[in-house]
Amino acid sequence: MNPEKKVSVGAMFDSIAPGYDFLNHFLSFGIDRCWRRTAVSIIPKHHRNPEILDVATGTGDLAISAMKINPVKVTGIDISEKMLRVGREKIRKKGFSDRIELSEGDSENIPFSDESFDVVMAGFGIRNFSDPSRGLREMNRVLRPGGLVLILEFSFPERFPFRQVYGFYFRRILPLAGRIISGSRKAYSYLPDSVMEFPYGGEFLELMESAGFLRTGQRKLTGGIATVYTGFKAQTQ
Ligand SMILES: C[S@@+](CC[C@H](N)C(=O)[O-])C[C@H]1O[C@@H](n2cnc3c(N)ncnc32)[C@H](O)[C@@H]1O
């Protein structure tokens, strides 16, 4: 565990919270919205009307996308109070305040008791954790037996020449555009750095399996720029 990383990540997201949504959609050409919609649409039918926990919810976009599958309730937690503030306002305007609740909380020490949720999800959050394996074990702990974990995270395209073209955009253009628009040099050079360092594909599935998830799977999105990972908690422990 690296407590310093947690403090600096929280402060970094606090500093970019007001422009986070705009930059997310702008720098991804709006594709991030499709990724979140695809992610929630792969929740299997027997998990319809679930109680969902969205860890590292940020401004709540994944929680809002989940409204499409008609959950009983979505609870979002995040360490950045300023991201949550932007999220609460958005949720209020969309009329979802009775079904989405955002509160401050650490995904590596989830403030809920064992077996509280049917689905636990994370959108572009886990690579920011100071200890991703601990975060995964915590997600497993709060899931009910047979429950689903759904993780949407950046990965990296493998195919030539898309890999090279995207690599240039992601490492050169995106940090520059992000810095100019947000005014934060750190946040938008941290983004490619954190993605390049983080395991993806089969390596990430191994991490999920080590945390106790069964029947893990992955679905690559947009040529592998992002991936949705799924796994299940055992029916009986
Ligand atoms: C890139 S944003 C993703 C937000 C949102 N899920 C989305 O899809 O846009 C990452 C979020 O992870 C949060 N975060 C990082 N480490 C965390 C932790 N240990 N516990 C809870 N939230 C964390 C940050 O504060 C930030 O809001």
Domain-located, residue 100: yes
In SS3 terms, the chain reads as: CCHHHHHHHHHHHHHHHHHHHHHHHHHCCCHHHHHHHHHHHCCCHHHCCCEEEEECCCCCHHHHHHHHHCCCEEEEEECCHHHHHHHHHHHHHHCCCCCEEEEECCCCCCCCCCCCEEEEEEECCHHHCCCHHHHHHHHHHHEEEEEEEEEEEECCCCCCCHHHHHHHHHHHHHHHHHHHHHCCHHHHHHHHHHHHHCCCCHHHHHHHHHCCCEEEEEEEEHHHCEEEEEEECCCCC
Pocket-forming residues, ligand 1, beta carbon under 6 Å: 6, 9-10, 13, 55-58, 61-62, 77-80, 83, 106-108, 123-125, 128-129
Can you list the residues of the chain whose pLDDT is less than 50?
none
Determine the pLDDT at residue 44: 78
Instruction: State pLDDT tens for residues 4-14.
Output: 888 999 999 99
Q: How much distance in Å is there from the Cα of 191 to the middle of ligand 1?
A: 12
> Using one digit for the tens of pLDDT, what is the confidence trace for 68-109?
999 999 999 999 999 999 999 999 999 999 999 999 999 999
For residue 194, give its domain range. 3-232
State residue 237's pLDDT score. 55
Is the backbone peptide bond immediately before 161 cis, with ω within 30 degrees of 0?
yes
H or E element in which residue 82 lies: helix 81-94
Quick one: which atom of ligand 1 is closest to the CA of 24? 9
- Distance (Å) from CA 28 to ligand 1 centroid: 17
Residue 237 domain flag: no
What pLDDT, in 10s, does the model give residues 136-145? 999 999 999 9
Here the CATH number for the domain that contains residue 203 is 3.40.50.150
- Does any domain span residue 190? yes
Is 85 a domain residue?
yes
Give domain status of residue 30, yes or no: yes
| Residue 77 maps to a domain | yes
- Cα–ligand 1 centroid distance for 201 (angstroms): 21
User: Cβ distance 200 to 126 under 8 Å?
Assistant: no
- Per the domain annotation, does 154 fall within a domain? yes
- What is the reported pLDDT for 4? 84
Could you give the number of structural domains in the chain?
1
What is the pTM (predicted TM-score) of this model?
0.96
Report if residue 148 sits inside a domain: yes
